[in-house]
Structure 1
Amino acid sequence: MEKTYSNNHRNSNDDDDDDHTDTVDDPNQPDQPDHDQISTLIDNVIDDLSTVDDKSTSPELPNTVDTFVAKIESMIDTYNSIKSGTRFTKITNEDAFFIDSIGRLSKLKTVLDDFSNVASFNNINKVLQLGIMLLEDEFRSILHDTNTCSDPITTKGSESQSSDEREREHEHDFPGYSNENVTLMNKIVDVMIPAGYQYECCQAYSTIRRDKLNEQVLRFEFDKVCMEDVHKSKWVTLEPDITRWVNLTNHCSRVLIVAEKKLGEMVFSEHTPVFTGVLINLFRGITNSLLEFPTTVAVEKPKAKRLFKFLDVYEAIRDLNAAIVESGYGEVTGEEYSDLKSEISTVGDSIGEVVINMFNDLKNSISNDTNKTQIQGGAVHPLTRYVMGYIKCAIEDYRDTLECVYRRHVELGNEPSPDTQNSNLPSQISGVIELLDTSLETKSTHYKDPSLRYIFLMNNNRYVLQIVKESTEMKKLIGDNWCRRKSSDVRNYHKSYQRETWTKLLQWLTQEGVQVNGKPSRRILKERFKSFNAMFDDIHKTQSTWVVSDQQLLSEMRVSINAVVSPAYRSFVGRYRPQFEGGKSIDKYIKYQPEDIESMIESLFEGTEKVDTQLNAIQALSTVKQTTGAFKNLLKTYKNVGLM
């Protein structure tokens, strides 16, 4: 039975079967074997020829071979009259027979190669080549015909979307082949490679799939970034390019590479070693374009404020390398895969060194901050907020990555330096906080009032402690022992403040020296009350403008002050008030009732709120973008209020 086709043979989206018709055999023609019969006959010929020991004599081939070759040649002519890419849309029985027959023809040609002077050999070879050319043409057409989207992928206006959500949104676009076409490509590959056309098959697949991958890369419009201009770019213009590169690389790792491997495994299902080489070349094409950018930006000056962007770059390279590793096939992978992974790792290591240098730049910034301007009211210093916000963001969002960076730094055997001698993350974070402590101690010496110095130290150390305690990751990293030591520091500063301020005040309320000749001296009591009132008024006037921003610490301080001042004052007034009763000037000396003292203590440390309110606005921010923005606003505030 012969197969006929209409000129508008099978649209890829058409589900009807009208264009497949079988014609009735001509009764005047001799009977033709059906597909199964002729396939079996040719297989028997191949088997028989493969067992012949004497290859010097040309074999006598049955007429079935000529019939088979002629039938295939006729089918080639028919298929060539149909538009490429639509010849085997439905993969009917006749289509399957034709494709299998090209493979069978290849086997026949192979066994005949061992014989000399086979009459029909040249014709078999010619028909085989025509059949392979047709299959290759169809293979190329199908590879070109994908339903992938080519619209630009942009993250503008979608800040609320995570990168994972954006990737899932585009994941269904790739690679864009129907199951029928994947099956057809698999059948063609299974014919071409055994027939000795591995190069042509792989070349077609590699070229077209590389172009399709490049189309996906171009959707991120990353080609607009000129490597030559990167070094000339200011950070404000380079930062969006880094974001775009990270999004592109993550998309390649999580979507493109995974989907490309899955597609190839289905198309080359019986030829994994062959596909491995193809896949390496495809991945190398992707990675070569991707790795150029981080290699270029790696020479940027290592400023601390750029750390988080470069950690994003490091993570993207790490994930790219992991995707390549997961796409390997064990021992089949070979040297080329190892070289590719090594190239990616080398770029990742260079970014890792930049990250370490940026972290060191943070330390240098702390050590070199010699600004002597006092923070009004002894409030939390902007440097404290900046540093703690910085490391909180680093730990909560990038802890695993930073640990990997420092671990890799040790593995590479880099020469230790003072900044990286203890190359593990906990020691690095502790080192940063120690530098901050030293800087705060120095800054505290700029306060002439010792009491205010202790308020400043107490505020800042309490702030550092609370940031660590409120962050599970930071507390886990730094440890409970550090928290206990820092709590002890805060208590000691509190005690020192109490001694410096309130112990001196309480000296006017002691019983010692009040009596003369066994009786309370009115003159001495007048001096005591006048001195107490003057000192208390001065303390209240001054320390009401001081700042204790932590509400728990503020409450603890007021309670502790009241606990020592109120009972002493109440007792002193209760004991010596009778010495002034009946006099006209009792209010001059006993200026405050005990309740007044307690009330006034409750109004201490409220501050001017000018600086504190502005600075507190960033305390709760934690994400990379929010933290970066908060740091900028903080530093701007720092300058606007004359603190820088």
Structure 2
Amino acid sequence: MQEIRSKMRSKSGFSFFSKITSSKKRPSLSIPSKSYDLSGIDKTTDNAAEIIEKWNTEYVSPNKFYSLFYESKRDAKKFVKRVKELQNAMDLLIREDPNSETLLRAQKLMQIAMKRLQNEFLQILTMNRAHLDPESVSTRSPTSVMSNDEDAWHEYRSAGDSIMEVEEVSKNSRKELKSIAECMISAGYAKECASTYKSIRKSIVDESLYRLGVEKISSSKAKKMPYEVVELKMKRWIEAVKVSMKTLFTSEKSLCDEVFESSASLKESCFKDISKEGALLLFGFPEIIAVRDKKNPHMKKIFPLLDMYCVITENLLAIEVIFSFPSISAVRTQAHISLSRLSESILSHLVEYESEIRKDSSKTMVPGGGVHPMTISTMDHISRLSEYSSSLMDILNGSTSSSSKSLLPKSYFNVTESDESPTSELRVRFAWLILVLLCKIDGKSEIYKDFSMQYLFLANNLQHVVSKASSTNLKQLLRDDWITRHFEKVKQFAKSYERLAWGPLVSMCPAISTSEALDMSPEEAKMQFEKFIESFENTCEAHSECVVPDPKLLDEMKYSIGRKLLPIYRDFYNAHRNAVILVGREDGWNVRYTPEDIENRLSELFSGKGILDNRYVCTADLCLVRTATSPTPRRKTRSLSCRRF
């Protein structure tokens, strides 16, 4: 500011006469016409001289600037009015008597007046800087965003509110700036006025963006940054865009339009020089990050990229409106380029994620046929992805890749050939990604040597998949028919487990209505009890490690097994218990399991109580087997081996 003031002090004077004659043809030196009122012009000049000389910049204290618009609003209005009258008088003199002494006097007065107005313009802008330059933003350090202190995070988020408050230039100040600008422009001093305005306002915009965490980062520097640092910068950038578009650029455009309402060219020139550099820096950041992460895809990176994509998309209309001038079309172009690069990077991450699922070769076994960690993590990612359905539809719609309908077998997903909507395309993509997961789970089921455990494993994992899908945004994407069909598949797997694991036990207890059971002797009944109880204990022991995490599926499976086993056993027990007890007294034998005992044992099924071996690593959610088996080399494959899905 001092530099600007010193430059203005160093000027010996404004070449006002050259300004007004450069745009107007100088009249010939003919004899002045007497058609104008010379006394009226002299009076106008005297009136102007009175107020102009009163506030002559040369006569104020060098240590303190006494603002005309601050000290005396009445004098300020009078000053502007007299300057406009003087300008009109000078225009008349130039036409009628360009060599008059009055014109020379008026020229000197106008130079003094313009210097005063330029200083006033600078003073008003500077005095209001406190309202446009939020200290609350600068006090936030970059690391505060990662703080667990909710108050600190709230303060950072409220930076936008602070800027909104301090960006409110008072109505009077706006009027004064506009009044001075119009006066200087009409007098031919538009360049000086605009230069002063730009010097103050650009520094405010640039500094505000810097305080919001927007800084210039080269591609090479971004590549060397740890991802944690990049992720932090992405979060700060998202907040910076919200604040910038809601307050900073919007307010700047509004102020610029109001101050320079009388000149369309100055509106554009000032706003361009003030905002273009900062806006390009702001909207150029996603392109750098997208290119960086496209070469190092990972599923955890896709969500910050989607957040960046969303915030640009949400503000795209505002960007088009605020940066509508032809001279700043580069800002609009940069926003669209960043969207395109983000789209490419997001698609790259999705393709790589599918590949990671396909190539997974871990041999870790989940005890008891529980839910595999891959199922949990993959469904967490997929369900979270579904929250970005709208953005993903835009990305897929703009993608040049072929339709994904050909990915799925017609029997798996019912999509008509005529349905070419983005929603249909996204639905197929999500269904395909889930199918890739299920086929991988199908392959991992073979680690269990017992076929019944394979089906329990498949039932648990598919139940988790469908439950997750039905309780998130995936339900709207995949629709009810997909949910229903896969729930039925869960029941089929559960029945297969039940048939293989518990069927032999059920068949050992003959129905009470058969003639064989009615005619059975006490000794034969005792032998039948012994066989059944031994088989029951062995079956319970063999499946004591089995787990069914889903409460609904757990109840259904217990009920189904109990319904097949308990009524038959209860009838057989009631028919032969007394006779068997009498026969068994000699050797002290007794029926050890009443129907209630059987029911109690069945109620303990699928709780994983048998998982006591120290080879198991257990957490609150699942148990895994410690294995030293080295994973087999990853193989790239396009086809899916999926026998049971």
Structure 1 length normalisation: TM-score? 0.78
The equivalent residue for 1:495 is: 495
Cα displacement (A) at 1:187: 0.6
Asked whether the 8 Å contact 2:287–2:338 carries over to 1, the reply is yes
**Is residue 32 of structure 2 the alignment partner of residue 58 of structure 1?**
yes
The reply on whether 1:152 has 2:139 as its aligned counterpart is yes
Distance 1:516 1:183, change over 3 A: closer
In the superposition, relative to structure 1, how do residues 592 and 164 fare at CA in structure 2: closer, same or farther (>3 Å)? same
State the alpha-carbon separation in 2 of the partners of residues 84 and 591 from structure 1: 106
Q: How far did residue 576 of structure 1 move?
A: 3.7
Residue 508 (structure 1) shift: 0.7
Matches of 2:284 and 2:174, distance apart in 1: 33
Does the alignment pair 1:404 with 2:394?
A: yes
Distance in 1, Cα, partners of 2:194 & 2:342: 35
Is residue 129 of structure 1 aligned with residue 119 of structure 2? no
Change (3 A) 1:597 1:519: same
Q: What residue number does 1:558 align with?
A: 558
What corresponds to 1:447 in structure 2?
Answer: 448
Residue 580 to residue 463, structure 1, CA distance change in 2 (3 Å): same
Q: Does 1:327 align with 2:335?
A: no
Between the aligned partners of 1:149 and 1:218, the Cα distance in structure 2 is 12
CA distance in 2, matches of 1:587, 1:498: 35
Q: CA deviation at 1:518?
A: 9.4
1:499-510 equivalence runs, <5 A? 499-510=499-510
Partner of 1:312: 307
In structure 1, what is the equivalent of residue 458 of structure 2? 457
Once structures 1 and 2 are overlaid, which stretch shifts more, 121-130 or 222-231?
Answer: 222-231
* Kept in 2: contact 1:367–1:439 (CA 8 A): yes
Post-superposition shift, 1:386? 0.7
Residue in 1 that maps onto 2:603: 602
**Distance of 1:451 and 1:144 partners within structure 2:** 80
Q: What CA deviation, in whole Å up to 9, does each residue of 1:112-164 have, x standing for no partner?
A: 55456441334333432332232122212222221133333344444475699
* Alpha carbons 1:310, 1:351 under 8 Å: kept: yes
1: CA distance between counterparts of 2:67 and 2:429? Answer: 64
The whole-number CA distance in structure 2 between the counterparts of 1:555 and 1:587 is 38
Residue identity matched to 1:305: K
Q: Report the alpha carbon displacement of residue 605 of structure 1 after superposing the two structures with TM.
A: 0.7
Judged with a 3 Å threshold, the aligned counterparts in structure 2 of structure 1 residues 159 and 394 are, in CA distance, closer, same or farther, namely farther
Report what 1:68 is aligned to: 44
Structure 1, residues 594-638: CA drift from partner, whole Å, max 9, x if none? 11111100000111588675337xxxxxxxxxxxxxxxxxxxx97
Cα deviation, residue 55, structure 1:
11
Q: How many residues are treated as equivalent by the alignment?
A: 563
Deviation of the 1:569 alpha carbon: 1.2
1:549 partner SS: coil
1:563 partner letter: R
Whether the aligned pair in 2 keeps the contact of 1:366 and 1:439 (CA below 8 Å) is: yes
In the other structure, the counterpart of 2:287 is 295
Q: Against the structure 1 CA distance between its residues 251 and 572, is the aligned structure 2 distance closer, same or farther, given a 3 Å change threshold? A: same
Q: Which amino acid aligns with 1:64?
A: G
Q: How does 1:147-226 map to 2 (within 5 A)?
A: 147=130, 148-150=133-135, 151-154=138-141, 155-156=144-145, 157=147, 158-159=149-150, 161=153, 165-175=157-167, 177-223=169-215
1:377 to 352, 368, 372: 368
Measured after TM superposition, the shift of residue 75 of structure 1 is: 3.0
The code of the aligned residue for 1:98 comes to F
- Deviation of 1:565 after TM superposition, in Å, equals 0.8
Hey, what does 1:142 align to over in structure 2?
124
CA gap of 1:339–1:149, structure 2 versus 1, over 3 A, is: closer
Cα separation, partners in 2 of 1:450 and 1:58, compared to 1, 3 Å: farther
AA in 1 matched with 2:566: S
Secondary structure at 1:89's aligned position in 2? helix
Contact 1:55 1:114 in 2 (8 A): no
Following superposition, the deviation at residue 385 of structure 1 comes to 1.1
Q: 1:99 Cα shift?
A: 1.1
Q: Does the CA-based 8 Å contact 1:85-1:138 persist in structure 2? A: no
Q: Can you list the C-alpha shifts for 1:396-431, whole angstroms capped at 9, x where unaligned?
A: 3x3333333333x24xxx243769988643222222
Corresponding residue number in structure 1 for 2:14: none
Please name the residue that 2:475 is paired with.
475
Counterpart residue identity of residue 316, structure 2: N
How far 1:62 sits from its partner (Å)?
1.5
> What's 2:486 paired with?
486
Mind listing any 5+ residue stretches in structure 1 that lack a counterpart? Answer: 1-49, 617-636
The equivalent residue for 1:466 is 467
Deviations 1:295-332 (A, max 9, x none): 2222222211111111222233334533322426xxxx
| 8 Å CA contact 2:234, 2:308 repeated in 1 | yes
Greater Cα offset, 293-302 or 373-382? 293-302
Q: Distance in 1 between the 2:163 and 2:608 partners?
A: 55
CA distance in structure 2 between the partners assigned to 1:316 and 1:441 by the alignment: 39
Distance 2:311 2:514 in 1: 77
Query: Which one-letter code corresponds to 1:362 in the other structure?
Result: Y
Q: What is the alpha-carbon root mean square deviation over aligned residues?
A: 3.5
Give SS of 2:346's match: helix
C-alpha distance after superposition, 1:341-396 (max 9, x if no partner)? 12211112101211121222221221111212211111111111111111222333
Q: Distance in 1 between matches of 2:339 and 2:94?
A: 52
* Sequence identity (%): 23
Q: Aligned in 2, Cα 1:595/1:90: closer, same or farther, shift over 3 Å?
A: same
Identify which range, 597-606 or 218-227, moves more after superposition.
218-227
Matching of residues 474-623 of structure 1 within 5 Å: 474-511=474-511, 519-520=519-520, 525=525, 528-577=528-577, 580-584=580-584, 590-608=591-609, 613-615=619-621
Give 2:351's match in structure 1, choosing from 360, 369, 372. 360
Out of 73, 76, 94, the position equivalent to 1:92 is 73
Q: How far apart in 1 are the matches of 2:370 and 2:80?
A: 82
Report the counterpart of residue 77 of structure 1 in structure 2: 53
Label 1:277 to 1:132 Cα distance change in 2 as closer, same or farther (>3 A): same
Query: Which position in structure 1 is the counterpart of 2:236?
Result: 244
State the AA in 2 paired with 1:93.
Answer: R
Matched residue type, 2:389? R
Q: TM-score, normalised by structure 2?
A: 0.78
* TM alignment of 1:31-46, pairs within 5 A: none
Deviation readout 1:241-288 (Å, 9 max, x if unpaired): 222222222221222112222322332344456324422333312212
Distance in 2 between the 1:194 and 1:543 partners? 94
Instruction: Report whether the alignment pairs 1:348 with 2:339.
Output: yes
Q: Name the SS of the counterpart of 1:580 in structure 2.
A: helix
**Structure with greater contact order relative to length (CA < 8 Å, sep ≥ 6):** 2
CA shift digits 1:3-53 (9 cap, x unpaired): xxxxxxxxxxxxxxxxxxxxxxxxxxxxxxxxxxxxxxxxxxxxxxx9xx9
